[in-house]
Amino acid sequence: MEIKDQEKSYDPAVAESKWYAYWEGLSLLRAEPARPGDSYCIVIPPPNVTGSLHMGHALNVTLQDVLIRYHRMLGKNALWLPGTDHAGIATQNVVERLLANEGVDRQSLGREKFEERVWKWKEESGGVILNQLKRLGAACDWSRERFTMDEGLSRAVREAFVLLHRKGLIYRGRYIINWCPRCLTALSDLEVAHVETKGGLYYIRYPELSGRRNVVVATTRPETMLGDTAVAVHPKDERYAGSIGVTLRLPILNRPIPLLTDEMVDPMFGTGAVKITPAHDPNDFEVGKRHDLPAVRVIDDAGKMTGEAGPFAGMDRFACREAVLDSLRKEGFLVKEEQFLHNVGHCYRCKTVVEPTESIQWFVKTKPLAEPAIRAVQSGETRIIPPNWERTYFDWMENIRDWCISRQIWWGHRIPAYHCLACGLTMVEVDAAERCSSCGSDNLRQEEDVLDTWFSSALWPFSTLGWPDRTEDLSRYYPTSVLVTGFDILFFWVARMMMMGIEFTGRAPFRDVVIHALVRDPKGEKMSKTRGNVIDPLDLMERFGTDAFRFTLLALAAQGRDIRISDERLEGYRNFMNKIFQAGRFVRMHADDNTSKALPSELSAADRWILSRLQRVIEEIRKGIEEYRFNEASSAFYQFTWHEFCDWYLEMIKPSLQPDAPVETRERQRAVLLYVFEAILRLSHPFLPFLTEEIWHSLPGKRGSILTEVYPEADPDRTDVDVEKDMGHLMEIIRAVRNIRSELHVPPAKRVEIRLKGQPEDLAFLSDHEEIILRLARAGKVVHREPEYIPVEDATAVVNGIEVCLPLADLIDFRKEASRLRKEIEKANAELSVVCAKLGNEKFLANAPGDIVEAHRIRKGDLELKLDSLSRNLALVTRYLS
């Protein structure tokens, strides 16, 4: 596995095609509970089996992969457990569509055949996304892959259901729920998406039976009037005081209904009178219960009007709305129509308008489960990151309502309840019941409904580890270390895992919950199929390489902010990948099998400088990863690798790598070079798994996978403040010379002389490292001048009290030089006045900390010195001009 050196630039396809198989082949991704090390565990948010990789997955998975690889390199016993979710309604819809293409519907196929068909589909197409995760580099332990409907997890679901039922935390009853007339199932409150919709507000006159007076009600859904069984007003509403208790006549159907009072009514809205439809409105349902009103279902499961709707029976609910309005208009009952903006609930899977409907369903009683889940976050047992999501979590948990968990679909965990057809008893059992425990009849029928997909998802962090069995994995890896997820499923999933995790294991399922951003298109719009602005991660990986793609996501992953992905950004990081690759080539040109792996004891200033910088960047990167500030970690790495290691360090050490350098110097230099570069690769392996593995194997020496290397640790003894300062000055001098050369258009080939003027002690370090200045500033020689030296025909700059003079009499355009100096003076003056203003302020001197004041004083001195030199030099130049 060698890189061909004739390749001029990095070709990601080559590296990406081989290394994943290599890791898998060596079982490097497999976790072993028996191995030592603190455990570090992540369970993947299981993608839907119907899914294919989108940007959200890519970001989510990249973050987790960074964490897993990082902690593995730290020596932790790391497990990343992958899997997929059966995604009840979504999957059923997909397969139903396939069947429709064949001209078959699920009813005619029958439940059993249909389920077989879905399983078959799952086996054939369900694995697509997992292979896509591999392309991303996800270092998951595939030997532990799970599926929410595999045998173990299904048993966990039944077990959980039974335990909750025994505790009275699952119940069955007739309530109003959200019904999707297209999916033909109940939905939980969360599965209803509210969409602001323009509609009408219709005022309808309900006459008193006596005929003397009328009550006018306002409604957005006139068709439901057919199911009205009362009209309600607020008890303190004086407008209706005289009418309370009278009987009204429901228009069209002419049904007598009472006028009653209820606190729920807002007297300020509409007319202050509300029509009550207990069968089709959650509020009305409650009112109906309080007043013992009949509930009349006028809309059936498919959204068609029932026989109760009289003349409208069989009509679609929306057609009926118009028909009812027509009828009311004709008969003079419609007194007013207004435009009205309100929220309409839609099925989150198929976007059909949801119909609130009264029916018999199963529910989880959530309050008792929510309380400990709230406490777990309050106490810090689980941390939510960034913490501003805590409030959202608390708000939802504190106002939680019971969770409707039964679904009238076929694909999912069938509820483990058995109805006795003989005596009517319902039994809830983990294993299929054979006889009625009350009457002994064997005429039992299992509940037809299946569970909400999110019920099994709620068990995911422990069911995947073997629960309800007390497995080795469970005790080793639970509670898990971190959950990485998007905020869109905070309630659907995170909150419920918290509740169930604590209920069944006694412990919150995660140490940390990391909430990351949404990935948007370059214009900042949410990607969606209907908008047609979906960016395919696989396409980006193809075009820019997986590592560049991952690095882009990481660099943009600032906490609490959405990500806009764009080609420009990817290009930049693709170039960075190539930069690292080229640096690898450079290292390979010099280091060989004989190069020492240990750092030599004797180190040049440049070596000590890069090593010192390396310690700092190691700390920054580690801190960034540990605090989930991936953008900070990646940008620290970028900055160091490109602009310090490549731009400065490599350039500085080139001479000592040349054949004419003394052998010992060369060998020492090679050792340091290899050492630092290896550190760079190890540091970035969690970000750039393919590139680093590729280069790692190309370096001299026999090597295993970089995946199993130790992550660099900062060594405080290698940080060297002095050398950082000295080298900083040296670099500034070089920059100053380059600036002058560039501004004055000195020909690149011109070897200028550099005269450094200053106090001997300030010049000492520079004179020791003249060769670096010569090389990087393209100088012919460096000469030191006493402070008394007067640069008559020189271009000049001032850096840290040292005057940099370039004798360029023959080359200088003195007008340009004068304007360059004026610009410098202007800048320095502006800054000086700010600094002086502060130092002249007594309150500043009295209140600001000593080190700040001192820093200002030093700054002032520097600026004055600089101004002094600059203006003197300007005077010289202008004299020359005239």
Q: Which parts of 94-133 interact with RNA (CB under 7 A)?
A: none
x/- contact string, 571-590, with RNA (CB under 7 A)? xx-xx-xxx--xx-xx--x-
Whether the CB-CB separation of 333 and 324 falls below 8 Å is answered with: no
Q: How far is the CB of 176 from RNA (least distance, A)?
A: 10
How near is the Cβ of 348 to RNA at its closest, in Å?
A: 9
Distance of closest approach, residue 311 Cβ to RNA, in angstroms? 22
Amino acid at site 213: R
Rounded to a whole number of angstroms, the minimum distance from the CB of residue 495 to RNA is 11
Separation between Cα atoms, residue 301 and residue 180, nearest integer Å:
8
Q: How far is the CB of 508 from RNA (least distance, A)?
A: 22
SS3 content of the chain, % helix, strand, coil (to 5): 50, 20, 35
Instruction: Give min distance, CB of 861 to RNA, in A.
Output: 12
SS3 231: strand
Identify which of residues 111 and 526 has a Cβ nearer to RNA in the complex: 526
Segment interacting with RNA, rule: CB under 7 A, options 309-317, 324-332, 596-604, 634-642: 634-642
The yes or no reply on residue 670 touching RNA (CB under 7 A) is no
Map residues 781-810 to x or -, x wherever contact with RNA holds by CB under 7 A: ------------------------------
523: its two tokens: 């214009």
Q: Does 14 bind RNA (CB under 7 A)?
A: no
User: Which residue has 């300030």 as its token pair?
Assistant: 762
CA–CA dist 331, 254 (Å, integer) = 12
Measured from the CB atom, the residue of 262 and 503 that comes closer to RNA is: 262
| Site membership for RNA, residue 282 (CB under 7 A) | yes
Per CB under 7 A, 160 contacts RNA = no
Question: How far apart are the two ends of the chain, measured CA to CA in Å?
Answer: 69
Which residues ranging from 733 to 772 are in contact with RNA (CB under 7 A)? Answer: 735, 738-739, 742-743, 745, 748
Do 521 and 395 form a contact (C-beta atoms < 8 A)? Answer: no
Nearer to RNA (CB atom), residue 423 or residue 852: 852
Task: Look at the block and give the residue holding tokens 């949801």.
Answer: 354
- For RNA, which is the closer residue by CB, 393 or 462? 393
The long-range contacts involving 164-167, CB below 8 angstroms and separated by at least 24 positions, are 164/364, 164/503, 165/428, 166/428
Which of 25, 524, 716, 840 is the binder for RNA (CB under 7 A)?
524
Rounded CA gap, 91 and 104, in Å? 17
**Region 320-359 residues binding RNA, contact defined as CB under 7 A:** 342-343
Residue count at the site for RNA (CB under 7 A)? 95
**Strand duo 444-446 + 519-520: pairing:** unpaired
x/- map, 164-203, RNA, by CB under 7 A? -------------------------xx--xx---------
State which of residues 153, 160, 218, 706 lies at the interface with RNA (CB under 7 A): 218
Whether the Cβ atoms of residue 159 and residue 430 lie closer than 8 Å to each other: yes
Whose CA is closest to 508, among 531, 488, 483?
483
Helix residue ranges per DSSP H, 142-234: 151-166
Please, what is the minimum distance in Å from the beta carbon of residue 12 to RNA?
8
What's the residue count for the chain? Answer: 882
Under a CB-based contact definition with an 8 Å cutoff, are residues 553 and 562 in contact? no
Beta partners for residue 256, in sequence order: 249
Kindly tell me which residue out of 566, 705, 829, 871 binds RNA, with binding defined by CB under 7 A: 566
Question: What is the largest distance, in Å, between two alpha-carbon atoms of the chain?
Answer: 119
Q: Which of 723, 730, 741 is nearest to 820 (CA)?
A: 741
592 binds RNA (CB under 7 A): no
Closer residue to RNA in complex, CB, 147/637: 637
Report the residue from 22, 119, 171, 642 that binds RNA according to the rule CB under 7 A.
642
Residues 6+ apart with CB under 8 A from 381: 507, 508
Per-residue tokens: 160:
């959980």
Cα 350–Cα 355–Cα 361 angle in degrees, nearest 5: 95
564 lines the binding site for RNA (CB under 7 A):
yes
d(CA 480, CA 803): 60
User: With binding defined as CB under 7 A, does residue 362 bind RNA?
Assistant: no
Interactions with RNA, residue window 818-877 (CB under 7 A): 823, 831, 834-835, 838, 841, 843-844, 846-849, 852, 855, 859
Write out the binding residues for RNA, residues 452-511 only, by CB under 7 A. 488, 491
Question: Which residues between 389 and 408 bind RNA (CB under 7 A)?
Answer: 391-392, 395-396, 401
725 binds RNA (CB under 7 A): no
Q: How is residue 463 annotated by DSSP?
A: H
Nearer to RNA, 210 or 833 (CB): 833
State the nearest-atom distance from the C-beta of 218 to RNA, in Å: 5
Q: Is the Cβ of residue 421 or residue 852 nearer to RNA in the bound state?
A: 852
